[in-house]
Amino acid sequence: MRLMTFQDSGGDRLGALVDGDTVVVDLAAAADPNRPAFASMQALIDAGERGLAEARKLVADHPEHTRRPAGSVTWRSPLPRPVRLRDCGLFIEHLAPTGKSMAKRQAASADDPEAELARLLASGRYDVPKLVTERVLYYGADHLSVSGPDEVINCPSYSAHLDYELEWAAVVGRTGRDITPDDAHSYIFGYTIFNDWTARDTQALIAQAGFGVGGDSKDFDGSTTLGPCIVTADEIADPYALEMSAWVNGVERSRGTTRRMHHSFESAVVQLSTGKTVYAGEVLGSGTVRSGTSFENGWQLADGDVVELEVEGIGVLRNRVQIPGR
């Protein structure tokens, strides 16, 4: 199924996309009013396999009055407030060119930029640590700052350099602890597109201080965009054979493939559940595919640009950016 969240005068509602994503079926309207499983995406996730089976029946045989044109509703993030949100380093190929770009930015203000760049690169500070090849590293993203399709993304006032990141994500469907590799796939509810918006100038300052790549550079209103829908895991035959691309104002700017993931979502589920609990409704970001940012490719978004991220089998996630002074 292709599940989404839309908004009407009564608030957020759970929908399913049919007829080539041109029609939304209002699942709450189609279901028995005494069934809470269709009150929200989180409620459906919590309902487990039984809830999904009921949802499939509703989609297959829904009343006409529950159908709405997809273009007539306001799309929301499919999970407007995930129970937890972590961005993992499952793609690692982009780390080397991104590190070099950050070193160039820092060296640019030196009296001799080329010499300073050589010094910084020789220091090893911008090398890719071996640990990222051995473990799934992650940072906790702000689950209170999630945005959805077609929302305007505002560059925070302390930054002048907003960037997109081409990613996708798995949504955890079951709560568990010490999950084994053989069972890990059964804990994945579905997949969505993930745009990890980043204030690059702020990120560079934080990185110089040795506090990683997050903080204020990724914690601002709307800084994580999810959508346009969640495609249930059974709909994706091979999640590690999908094409990914980013388009800005209709021009392709980034292209990659999930084949290049160094770690899998299943590996993340296993590691993150070792000795601790993962919860139904958590979102696990993939990290950025190589070439999946403007920063890595040596250019910068401008005010009013429209960014579209596309992942095969999921759809297109579209947003316009607002960057004062750009």
Question: Which of 158, 138, 153, 148 is closest to 197 using CA atoms?
Answer: 153
The confidence score (pLDDT) of residue 111 equals 75
Residues 186 and 280 in one domain: yes
Q: Band of the pLDDT at 214, cuts 50, 70, 90?
A: confident
What count of other Cβ atoms lies within 10 Å of the Cβ of residue 25? 24
Question: Which of 90, 299, 317, 80 is closest to 195 using CA atoms?
Answer: 317
Residues 165 and 287 in one domain: yes
* 102 is a domain residue: no
The confidence score (pLDDT) of residue 43 equals 97
Cα–Cα–Cα angle for 86, 98, 322, nearest 5°? 70
* 280 is a domain residue: yes
* 111 is a domain residue: no
Q: What is the CATH number of the domain that holds 241?
A: 3.90.850.10
Give CA separation, 237 vs 234, 241, 270, in Å.
Answer: 7, 9, 21
The answer to whether residue 82 scores a pLDDT higher than 70 is: yes
Q: For the segment 137-161, what is each residue's pLDDT rounded down to a tens digit? A: 998 999 999 999 999 999 999 999 9
Q: Band of the pLDDT at 101, cuts 50, 70, 90?
A: low
Higher-confidence residue of 22 and 92: namely 22
* 311 is a domain residue: yes
Provide the β-strand partners of residue 196.
224
High-pLDDT (> 70) share of the chain, %: 90
Domain that holds residue 299: 85-92+128-322
Domain stop point among 10, 44, 76? 76
Higher-confidence residue of 33 and 237: namely 237
Residues 141 and 19 in one domain: no
* 107 is a domain residue: no
The answer to whether residue 276 scores a pLDDT higher than 60 is: yes
* 100 is a domain residue: no
Residues 160 and 263 in one domain: yes
The confidence score (pLDDT) of residue 180 equals 98
Mean pLDDT calculated for residue range 160-188: 98
- Let me know: does 290 contact 120? Beta carbons within 8 Å: no
Burial 36-45, CB ≥16 within 10 A → b, else e: ebbbbbbbbb
CB neighbour list of residue 11: distance below 8 Å, 6 or more residues apart:
none
d(CA 274, CA 180): 9
- Let me know: does 141 contact 304? Beta carbons within 8 Å: no
Q: For the segment 106-143, what is each residue's pLDDT rounded down to a tens digit? A: 667 777 767 666 676 666 666 567 777 889 999 899 99
**DSSP codes joined into one string, 246-281:** EEETTEEEEEEEGGG-SS-HHHHHHHHHTTSEE-TT
The confidence score (pLDDT) of residue 115 equals 65
The dihedral through the CA atoms of 15, 311, 315, 89 has a sign that is positive
Give how many domains the chain has, as a whole number.
2
Mean pLDDT calculated for residue range 164-169: 98
Amino acid at 241: A
d(CA 284, CA 84): 9
* 121 is a domain residue: no
Mean pLDDT calculated for residue range 100-110: 66
* 288 is a domain residue: yes
The label of the residue with tokens 């006032």 reads 157
